[in-house]
Every structure is written in C-alpha cells, then in structure tokens.
Structure 1
Amino acid sequence: MASAAKPRLDPPTAYEVISPESYAGWDPLLDTFDRLRDESPVAWVEDPEGRHPPFWLVSRYDDVMRVSKDNATFLNNPQTVVFSLTEGIEFAKNLTGGSPHMVASLVTFDAPIHMKYRKLTQEWFMPKNLRTLEDEIRELAQKTVDRLIEAGPEADFCKLVSQPYPLHVVMQILGVPEEDEPRMLMLTQQMFGGQDEDLNQSGMKDLPPEAITQLVAGAVKDFEAYFAGLTAEKRANPTDDVASTIANATVDGEPLNDRDMMGYYIIVAAAGHDTTSASTAGAMLALAQDPEQWDKVKADRSLLPGIVEEAIRWTSPVQHFMRTAAEDTELGGQHIAKGDWLMINYVAANHDPAQFGNPRKFDASRSPSRHLAFGAGAHQCLGLHLARLEMRILFETLLDRVESVELAGEPKRAKSTFVGGLKTLPLRIAAA
C-alpha cells in the first residue's frame, strides 16, 4: 500500500537538489542523494514561496528505470521536461502561445508522434551508417589532438578538446559549414549554460532567473533564424546530411511545421555535442588522476570501451529529466496522482550502490554497466552510438600520441541543474 503522508524534503535539501551550485560542487550532492535513497527515494519537493511547481524527486535506480521505460504512465509533454522555475514556465507559455516547452523536439513529444519523428533520422545514427563516417571522425580527432599538443605542455582540455571536437563531428553530420561552428557553440552554451557565468556568454555571476530565461529564449531565436536559412538552402540543394533529411521530411504526408522543424535541428545541434563533451572530459579527468589506468589502456586498447562507458555513467551529463503522471499510480511506495510532476535524477540513479558497487569510483571493468546516462526505453538517446564512437576514436588518437597526462590545476564543474560536467580541465601532457 502507498503511504498516506508525502515524505517532504526539508527546505535546505529541497534547494540543494535544484541548485546549479550543488551540481558544480558534486560530492556533497552525491552525499545527499545517498541519504535520500535510503530515507526517501521518492520524495515530495515543494517551495513554500511558489518559485517552482512542486514535484516528486526520484533518486533510486530501479524507480528511475521504471519511469524511463513506462512512457504511457509517465509523459514528457504536458509539463516542461526540464526543471524550471514558475517564472520561466510562464515566459515560455507566453512566447509559444501556450506550450511550456520553449523548443518542441523529440525530447518533448509523446507517442505516437514521438516515434514518427524519431524515425526520420534514426538510421543516420545507427552503427552501420556511422561506420561510413569513421575516417572523417578520425581526421577531426587528429586535428584536435594536434592543437592540444601544440598548446602544451600545459593546456585546458575542455577548451581545446572536449568542447570543440564533438561540435565538429555533429556539425559535419548535420551539414553545418565549419565557419559557423563557433556560433553553434556559443548558442549551445547559452541554452545549457545559462546558470554559469563562464558558459552563458554574459560574464555575470548570479544572473537573476528572468535574465537566464531571456538569455535562453534569445539563443533559441538565433538558432531558429540560422536554421531557417539552412532549411531554404537544403530544400533548394539537398545533400547527403541530416539537415537535408529534416528540411525535406514529411510526417503523415505533411512537411514538418516550422516549430517542430526548428526544434529538430536544435536538439541535434545542441544536445548532440554538449553531452559528449562532458563525458569526454570526465574520461580524461579519470585517466589523469590514475596514471596506472592510463598506462594499462595505452598497452591494451580492448579496455577502451569500458573506459568510455564508465565515463558516461560517472559524469551523467544529462543530470535529470522531468515527467508528468498520466494517471494515478504508485512509485517507490508513494501514491503519485494524475498530473503530478516528477524529476528522474540520473546523477542519483547512476550513483546508486544497489546497482553499481562503489559508485563514486571510476571503474572501467564494470560489467555489465546498465547505466541510465542515455535514458532508457522509447526516449533513449538517439545519438548514443555516435557518442561512443566519437569518444573511442578520440581516445585511440590521444593514446597513440600522448605518453603521459596529469592534472595541472583544479578542474571546475559547470553550475547547471540540467546538462552538466567539467568546464575546465587543466592538464600537463607529454607527447609520445
């Protein structure tokens, strides 16, 4: 039977799980998740001042997996899929004419429309097709490592490698010219880094919520303007790339409407590189902290897939998604009412000791590692095979050309509740 009384988080803990600063701090937040999984794995979070809608925090692996896979009971669309303050939700509704989603995309669609849109580009991101791109990706990896070595012996890995490299790859697949990549990086950082003064392009600490919302809205508008021009070009002169597929796609016999089309571009362009960037930096941090592991994988490349997979779990770049209950149900012993909002927290789930022994340890030998960093079920990340391929090729190149690596300063994480990871990773490298 579900319990009658909702287990409510105390105000300091409730603030901690939604605070961008908490995710930058990391270890104290993991301590909190450890406590919550034991005491209140499904807990009610409510702000007495109404600054955000109330929601259920889901922190246990098994519960997060269940919500992720049960797309009939737990919907993406009715409320925003990313935690937002009430002010931001109202801003989005005013901007879009009623939708809480500033961007309409695969992430915000439910069945049956979700699968129809997903199928438009799904083949593009399957291993069979990605194999045809390996040579191009390897060339990009070589150029990226060239820049790192030229900048050495001390360099910021995030700035020189983990930020630009996945961006190069996804823009090449999308069909965006190389000269436009800096603009794409800036807009992505404005969308996902709005809470961090080093990433949101404002240079300002502690931006008020309304300024962050306007920054994100401005980035969306700039994305849409750019992709409107790209659409016209790809319709007039289609080429063999994802942008041409999207520009000329039809669903149920009709071309995509402008909002859905722009959302499709944005989700591929933005989500397609920011998350891989975070995992790539996480893998390098782990190897820089453990010279023995670096030497082992340098000698035995069969260990590399394990390092890639563990880095994705360990960093959990997409830190949460929100879902809305379609009907009354029960989760973790709690009664969930129809219309309730839930946060499925991937950081908490991927550090659940019931699923991962000693979860804070970077252990490349975990097998199997059924982590949730790519989600699960129908909404599992479209680009998961691409992310793994990019990381494998980059680290093969690094291991060939770098003899040793160590930290040259204190790494810093981004202040972000949604997409997170390292924003700086100072390294000292010795070229092979």
Structure 2
Amino acid sequence: METIPDPFFDPLSADVIADPHVAYRRLRDRDPVYWHAQLDSWVITGYEQCRQVLGDVAAFGSDFRRVGADVPPAHLSVQSLDPPEHGPIRHLLVTALREQPPAALNRDVAAIVADRLAALPRDGAVVDLVPAFARPVARATIERFLGGELPDGPEFEKLSNAIVRSMDAGLAPDRAGPGAAARAELSAMIEKWLADPPENGFLGAVRRAKEDVSEAVVANSLRTVLHAGYESVSRLIGNALGRLARDGLRADPGLADELVRLDGPVQADARVCVRETRVGAHVVREGQILIVMLAAANRDPAVFPDPDRVDGGRARGVHLGFGRGAHACLGAALGLRQLQEVLRALRDGGITLVPAGPPRLDRTATLRGFSSLPVRLA
C-alpha cells in the first residue's frame, strides 16, 4: 500500500529541500507537537518541547532496545546508548578529549584553513567551495584530531554519503541497507587503527583511557566522531559560506554561534518514548517515536525574536544546533572552532564571496548541506 505524503511536511520534497523552514513554521503554527502519519511519529518543532524531550532521558530514549526494538550491533555507540550503558563510553571519550591540548589544536585548525584558502583561485575564476574547501578542511581536521589516516579516493566519500542517506531511511527505506554496511566498514577500519594507534591524537588517548566498554562500542563511537567531524562540520562550513555569499555578509568569527543556529546541518534527531509522558497538549505513549526538529526549534520566535535574521548579539549557546542533554555533541567545540577560523581567515584576508551560479543541495532531510557552491573570491 502506497504511503500518502503528509500535506504539511514532506521532508524529501523539492520545496522542503530548497527551504525547510517554511514547512517548519507551518508545522509549528499548526501544532508544535504534530502527529505525522507517513513517519508514524510525533514531529516536534517547538523549542520548549524539543528541550523537554532531549533533556528527559528517563522518558525518551535514544536506545530503541528499551522498547524491544532490534538494533543492529553497528548502531550501538555513544550516540545511541542510554544510561547506564551510556556513562562509561561517554566518560572514556571525554577523558580522551581532555588530553588534547587546546592551543595546539587551535593552531592546527588555523593552519589547515589557511592552507586550503591559499589554494583557492583569486583571479576571478569560479570555484566550488564544497569539494575545494569545506570538505578538505573538515577531512584534514578530523584526521589530525583522531590521528588516523582516511583512505584516498572516492571510497570514503561513498561510505560517508551512504550513512548520511540512511538517516532518512524512515522516508526512503532502500537507504537503510547501504548505510548499515557503511557503518560496519568504517567501524572495522577504526578497529584496525585502535590496534596500533599513534601516541598523539585522540585515538591514542582513547586507547589509554580505562573504562569497561566493549571494543565494538568504542569503535562504533569513534566512527560517529569521525563521521560527525567530517559530514556535519563540512556541511556547517558550506552552509555558512552559502549564507555569506547569498546575503553579501562580511565574514566575522563572532557570528559563528549565530550561523550554527541559523544554518546548522543537523535538522533532526529521534527519540523513542519509554514512559507515557505529556509533551505540549498531547500524551505520547510508550513505543511511539518522536522526531525532534532541532533546526525548527532554533527559529522558534518565542525564543529567538525575528528568528530568520542574522543577529550576532543574541545570547550564545541557547540554540539546539549541537543538541542538548546526555547526547549533546561531543565535538561541538571543535566544529565551532573550525567555523570561527574560516570566518577569521576570510575577514583577515579581506575576502568576500560572490555567487557564480546556483548552488545545489543534497537531497537529504536529516543532515542538510550543499553538494555544490560555486563562487568567485573577491
């Protein structure tokens, strides 16, 4: 039986891919806690309600095994495990993270950004900032951070994209299988890294950390760090540069947090209700899924006046661009630092971005980003 797309929200439709915030506003105005028949889930678009779901791990879980679901082993990681299993792996990763010298990491990020920016043409030629800048910056940074070397050529890109596409498997079920296979392959690669990690870098620090966590969960969790550090950060940089070019904005590192709020790539996260709980005007029953629309919450006018406007004076850290609660993004500081360095390098170099053709967006709903962003550097 064919599923009829929801009239208020069809996430993979062309108009929503082009600008999802029109649909987010329509959903929030109708009901910030909306039952979506096609997704068989509650879609949460209000800031207050999103904060409630993200913060209440007793009632809303990331680990769907808590309601009897069969979760593939490759999916068990710091992202999907709930307390008490979540505690040891998060503590291990946080312990390793604290070993990384911030000053050295900041220098590395600045050097990577400067090198990639210097390689871009300044003679009026058109350059696509996605493959020429955003992706290489994120890739080089996460390689330097982890201490592992990613494979050359298109294979890693293919695996990474398969995982991104699989995040929309609720809408396109054929994407699930390739995504699961890609997760398993990247986890196996990381297991090899962990067998002989370099002393310096995050991998070595993880190996030294003492926690009672299975090797598989450690590898899967490092895979999520790798994937977020590449896909989420490259898309964040690309989205921010797209806004600078489109709106004619001057680059300013002080705008980084605001650009995460407006153009953060992670549109949504999922939770499952493990204990009947009221959210907004509705009772959410055990076993029901909730799609927490982070990007919609970040433009809720009840919290962010004139929410579509770039305003560098807003209070920082209020948005949900990096999540909230037990599963908040571990790499938020590193991702934000990369965006700040990109904006700083553009500002200090007196560089503005001039659109040189229509940008293209990936046809993905959960993780939003450009596949092509042609500009000229002026």
Normalized against structure 2, the TM-score is what?
A: 0.89
Q: Which runs of 5+ in 1 are unaligned?
A: 1-9, 81-92, 197-206, 298-302
Query: What's the offset of the Cα at 1:19?
Result: 2.6
Change in 2 beyond 3 A, CA 1:232/1:125: closer
Counterpart pick for 1:308 among 251, 256, 259: 256
Q: 1:386 and 1:333 mapped to 2: Cα distance?
A: 38
Q: Is the 8 A contact 2:162 2:179 kept in 1?
A: yes
Which residue of 2 is the match for residue 143 of structure 1?
Answer: 115
Deviations 1:143-176 (A, max 9, x none): 1102223686310111111111011101111111
* Aligned length, in residue pairs: 374
Q: Does 1:209 align with 2:173?
A: yes
Q: 1:113 and 1:258 mapped to 2: Cα distance?
A: 14
Which residue of 2 is the match for residue 46 of structure 1?
Answer: 37
Q: Does 1:110 align with 2:82?
A: yes
Q: 1:12 and 1:33 mapped to 2: Cα distance?
A: 16
Alignment of 1:118-137 (within 5 A): 118-125=90-97, 129-137=101-109
Change in 2 beyond 3 A, CA 1:232/1:367: closer
Which residue of 2 is the match for residue 245 of structure 1?
Answer: 205
Change in 2 beyond 3 A, CA 1:100/1:233: closer
Q: 1:424 and 1:75 mapped to 2: Cα distance?
A: 36
Q: 1:388 and 1:189 mapped to 2: Cα distance?
A: 22
Change in 2 beyond 3 A, CA 1:228/1:338: same
Q: Is the 8 A contact 2:16 2:23 kept in 1?
A: no
Q: Does 1:328 align with 2:285?
A: no
Deviations 1:236-276 (A, max 9, x none): xx512212233454423xxx324212211211110122111
Percent identity, aligned pairs only, is 24
Which residue of 2 is the match for residue 228 of structure 1?
Answer: 191
Any idea what SS the aligned residue of 2:320 has?
coil
Q: Is the 8 A contact 2:277 2:284 kept in 1?
A: yes
Deviations 1:44-84 (A, max 9, x none): 1224xxxx5x211111111001111111111110269xxxx
Which residue of 1 is the match for residue 46 of structure 2?
Answer: 60
Q: 1:385 and 1:271 mapped to 2: Cα distance?
A: 13
Which residue of 2 is the match for residue 417 of structure 1?
Answer: 365
Any idea what SS the aligned residue of 1:339 has?
coil
Q: Which runs of 5+ in 2 are unaligned?
A: none
Change in 2 beyond 3 A, CA 1:179/1:33: closer
Deviations 1:10-38 (A, max 9, x none): 95436834436454222xx3222212212
Deviations 1:285-304 (A, max 9, x none): 2222333x31xx5xxxxx52
Query: What's the offset of the Cα at 1:181?
Result: 8.2
Any idea what SS the aligned residue of 2:270 has?
strand
Q: Does 1:289 align with 2:220?
A: no
One-letter code aligned to 2:187: E
Deviations 1:94-130 (A, max 9, x none): xxxx425642111101112212211212145459832
Q: 1:322 and 1:16 mapped to 2: Cα distance?
A: 16
Q: 2:228 and 2:372 mapped to 1: Cα distance?
A: 19
Q: Is the 8 A contact 2:167 2:366 kept in 1?
A: no
Q: Report the aligned-residue RMSD.
A: 2.9
Which residue of 1 is the match for residue 163 of structure 2?
Answer: 191
Q: Does 1:405 align with 2:353?
A: yes
Which residue of 1 is the match for residue 55 of structure 2?
Answer: 69
Any idea what SS the aligned residue of 1:428 has?
strand
Which residue of 1 is the match for residue 221 of structure 2?
Answer: 264
Any idea what SS the aligned residue of 1:148 has?
coil
Any idea what SS the aligned residue of 2:64 has?
coil
Deviations 1:193-252 (A, max 9, x none): 4589xxxxxxxxxx9733x22321331232133223212222xxx512212233454423
Of stretches 315-324 and 142-151 in structure 1, the one that deviates more from structure 2 is: 142-151
Change in 2 beyond 3 A, CA 1:408/1:269: same
Which residue of 1 is the match for residue 289 of structure 2?
Answer: 341
Which residue of 2 is the match for residue 203 of structure 1?
Answer: none
Q: Is the 8 A contact 1:42 1:59 kept in 2?
A: yes
Q: Is the 8 A contact 1:22 1:415 kept in 2?
A: no
Change in 2 beyond 3 A, CA 1:272/1:33: same
One-letter code aligned to 2:300: D
Which residue of 2 is the match for residue 363 of structure 1?
Answer: 311
Q: Does 1:19 align with 2:5?
A: no
Q: 2:301 and 2:316 mapped to 1: Cα distance?
A: 14
Any idea what SS the aligned residue of 1:19 has?
coil
Change in 2 beyond 3 A, CA 1:356/1:74: same
Q: Does 1:164 align with 2:136?
A: yes
Any idea what SS the aligned residue of 2:9 has?
helix
Of stretches 179-188 and 383-392 in structure 1, the one that deviates more from structure 2 is: 179-188
Change in 2 beyond 3 A, CA 1:78/1:208: closer
Normalized against structure 1, the TM-score is what?
A: 0.78
